[in-house]
Amino acid sequence: MRPPRLRDVAELAGVSEPTVSRVLNGRTGVARATRDKVVDALAELGFDDAPPPVRSRSSVIGMLSGALTNPVFPLMISHIGSKLAAEGYLCTIALVDERQNPEERCIAEFIRAGVDGVIVVGGRHAELEADLSHYNDLIRRNIALVLVNGRATDLDVPHIRCDEGAATRLGVTHLTHLGHQRIGCIVGGERYATTARTIDGYWTALADAGIRKKAGRVVHTEFTFEAARAVATRMIDDGFTGFVTSNDQMALGVITAARAVGLSVPEDISVVGYDGTDFTAFTQPPLTTLRQPFEDMAALVSNSMLAELREDRTCRDHFVFEAELLARESSGPAPATA
């Protein structure tokens, strides 16, 4: 007689196959009554070897992050870590570097360390065409996984992000209401889903304002201050008076480029950033930006992880947050034309 399959045990016990797997591997996160059902089903199907005792929970959550030079990553990690710490979990951080410390290696180390779950704050799931098969290594081992600010995938795990497209529409509309007709969009690499959504929102907002497509321009560059400054210098020479960018550092690069050629912000050039980290209120001038609701997002990320650890699938969905426009002194009426 063939040994029982996971499907056979799950059907007899009235539970999911991942639950049976957790019991067989001695993992935590299964209620005592549920575990007893699985054990009884195994016995009824003639499975002689008793499941191993439940191993001690590590109470450690691994977090994957991009470079901490981007203030979004430490801010999000801090909020998530605080909320999980209140529930008794320790968070350990791995910084992804595709050359020296690729994502696959980080995940393999997390698995080896026995973490209970992994939260990907900045990772390859943000790329449009990236191979995400290494995430299946976590799923196969019933290690909880939550993805933040990436692209929609066919992975059956929680996805939580902010809507960059809607945010960019909000920023461009703010500038068109101020009278700007030449509005440029400075974004990151084409391979990122966040970039694609930003561009989508940009062109939609220009069309809604009745601005012809040839009056706009999208320029791809690195997500850095210096890269945006160099790009903005050329766009200012071409007559652009309004700018939306992929992040706040890039917006500050645009402001610096304007000043370098003797222009004032916002009298001559208006700039809208994205992210809305705290430092933007103290720049000169204070930066108009589109603020991601970091605290609310972090709360949902944390709750989703806790639900995954309980094998509660009610939070296993795609959740999209809306950004808030913080209109400050870096944006103003379009300069008068002669």
Domain boundaries defined on the chain? 60-162+295-322, 164-292
In DSSP notation, 292-336 reads: --HHHHHHHHHHHHHHHHTT-GGG-SEEEE--EEE--TT--PPPP
Average pLDDT over residues 174-181: 97
- pLDDT value of residue 50: 58
Q: How far apart are CA 247 and CA 249, in angstroms?
A: 6
**pLDDT tens string 278-332:** 999 999 999 999 999 999 999 999 999 999 888 777 767 789 999 999 999 999 9
The domain 60-162+295-322 is placed in CATH, from the list 3.90.550.10, 3.40.50.2300, 2.40.160.20, 3.30.565.10, at 3.40.50.2300
**pLDDT tens string 243-266:** 999 999 999 999 999 999 999 999
Domains 60-162+295-322 and 164-292 share a fold: yes
Instruction: Assign 26 a pLDDT band (cuts: 50, 70, 90).
Output: low
**pLDDT tens string 210-235:** 999 999 999 999 999 999 999 999 99
Q: Does residue 56 carry a pLDDT above 70?
A: no
Instruction: Assign 338 a pLDDT band (cuts: 50, 70, 90).
Output: very low
**pLDDT tens string 126-173:** 899 888 888 988 888 888 999 999 887 888 899 999 999 999 999 999
Q: Given CATH 3.40.47.10, say whether it is the number of domain 164-292.
A: no
Residues 272, 278, 284, CA angle at the centre, nearest 5°?
A: 55
**Maximum mean pLDDT: which of 25-34, 104-113, 226-235, 300-309:** 226-235
H helices present in the chain, as ranges: 6-13, 17-24, 32-44, 72-85, 103-113, 135-140, 164-177, 193-208, 225-237, 248-260, 294-309
